[in-house]
Amino acid sequence: MSMADPKRVALVTGANRGLGKAIATELAERGLHVIIAAREAQAAGAVSQELNEKGLLTSGYQLDVTDPGSVARCFADVGLQHGRLDVLVNNAAIAIDRRQFAVSPDFERVHATLETNLTGAWRCAAAAIVEMRANDYGRIVNITSHLGSISTMADTNIAYRVSKAGLNALTRILATELQGTNILVNAASPGRISTRMAGNQTDRTPEQATDTPVWLATLPDNGPTGSLFHDRKPLPW
């Protein structure tokens, strides 16, 4: 089955705007049925309707990655309704601790950030793998950040940095555990793009940053796993 086969099903978290919406759009343009997942059902449905009106195949689904029940329901429903899940893009994330320092942390912000960016992605990956194992096929793409690189780790944005460093570690661990299967797990750093989360501080649009995540989401069976990429080029962790 080719990646252009509409029977392939992808789920993108945080797909109601920004990079998530751009990735979801390109995957749908490639012929996949894309589940537009967002915390608010109305937002997910609005994007799905917008893309469907363009002739693309999508569905909207309410998903709160911080809620174990919401994650379990979403992935079980996808498996029931579509009979498969082939691609998961863990895009949902928050950045709420700018100008925060590790020596004087706001632990409420730390907890909220880790729960969304790391534990939430972990929950989704674990639930997706259950569905992917049924067909021995899967592509998991974790959207990370250069701020999570241990080799260039610095101060400020501490919870966000730690959450992305943890996501990088999770990527390597899952890839190792899934060796011998056709479920490939990789991470993609889109670089600085103009989104609400980034404060719209650059001229690079989300649509200009989809190449690597979409490439990883549609890898051939002998594609890389357990790696970190930016613009399709491998990066140090």
List, by residue number, the catalytic residues.
160
Q: How far, in Å, CA of 237 to CA of 226, rounded? A: 11
Structure tokens of 57?
């195949």
Helix (H) or strand (E) holding 164: helix 158-177
Structure tokens of 231?
């613009």
Instruction: Give phi and psi for 9, each to the nearest 5.
Output: -120, 130
Q: How far, in Å, CA of 74 to CA of 39, rounded? A: 11
Q: How far, in Å, CA of 15 to CA of 172, rounded? A: 24
- 180 contacts: CB under 8 Å, gap ≥ 6: none
Q: Do 165 and 62 touch, CB atoms closer than 8 A?
A: no
What is residue 117's DSSP assignment? I
Pick from 115, 106, 172: nearest CA to 140? 172
Structure tokens of 10?
């992808």
Edge-first strand order for the sheet with 138-143 is 58-62, 33-38, 9-12, 87-90, 138-143, 183-188, 228-230, 233-234
In three-state secondary structure terms, 29 is helix
